[in-house]
Amino acid sequence: MADKQMGATDFLMFQTLLNQMKQAGGPTATFNRSIYGLFPKTAMKAAGIPMGAGVVTPLSQQAVAAGASGVGRMVSTRLPLAQGVLQTLGGDPIGGVGTAGGGYLGAKAGAAIGTAIAPGIGTLAGGLIGGLAGGAAGQSVTRGIAGIDVNNPLTGPDLSLAGIPLSQYAKTKKSLERATELEKKRYKELAPLYEEARNRQMARDMIGSQMGLAQTMLGSVYGR
């Protein structure tokens, strides 16, 4: 219940901030122009402006906002995909799939909400927030389905590609195999030394036993 109340409060603060930025077209218009300029081709397409027309034709605030919204949607939905790829390459493909899928859906939903509040800057902010939340939820779902416990390296599937471990279980398995091989190699190198030491100890024990037997025999002879 507390988490839901906190989420509602955060959303209300976010909406209030954007509503304040929309007044008199002040900071919002400036931010939108900046976002528009990041990827002008994407912005012009989203605003429905023919290629090249934006160079000579003054753009209205509505057109700039529409273009900035297009850029915001593109940026916020692509970031989770890139994060999922990096996560996969880093050895967590199942979590990466969840991050990419959940983050993409979360970014689209957040961008839609942000656009309804403040087209442009709201689209980008909402998309980024939604992408982070969706990515975290998505990877939790995919890991749960695959039976992966991030605190237990021996859980989850054994996934490898061309001998390269991809999942945490595969990484742990390969590490254990390497440790076992090193122990075998070390034992093989030390075995002759152990054998030599054992033979020397046996020789000393035999000599000691013979000396003890000789002393016993001499004692019995001289004792008579």
The more confidently predicted of residues 123 and 174 is 123
Q: What are phi and psi of 101, to 5 degrees?
A: -65, -50
How is residue 58 annotated by DSSP? P
- Give the model's confidence band at 219: pLDDT under 50 very low, under 70 low, under 90 confident, else very high: low
- Judge whether residue 88 has pLDDT over 50: yes
Residue-wise pLDDT for 196-206, tens only, equals: 788 888 878 78
Query: CA torsion angle for 110, 115, 116, 117 (degrees, to 10)?
Result: 90
Quote the mean pLDDT of the chain. Answer: 80
**pLDDT, tens digit (0-9, with 9 covering 90-100), for 58-78:** 678 888 899 999 999 999 999
Global pTM reads 0.62
Q: Residue 125: name the closest of 84, 173, 69 by CA.
A: 69
20 vs 171 pLDDT, higher one: 171
Kindly list the domain boundaries of the chain, sorted by start residue. Answer: 2-146, 159-224
pLDDT digit string, tens, across residues 93-113 = 888 999 999 999 999 999 999
pLDDT of residue 20: 47
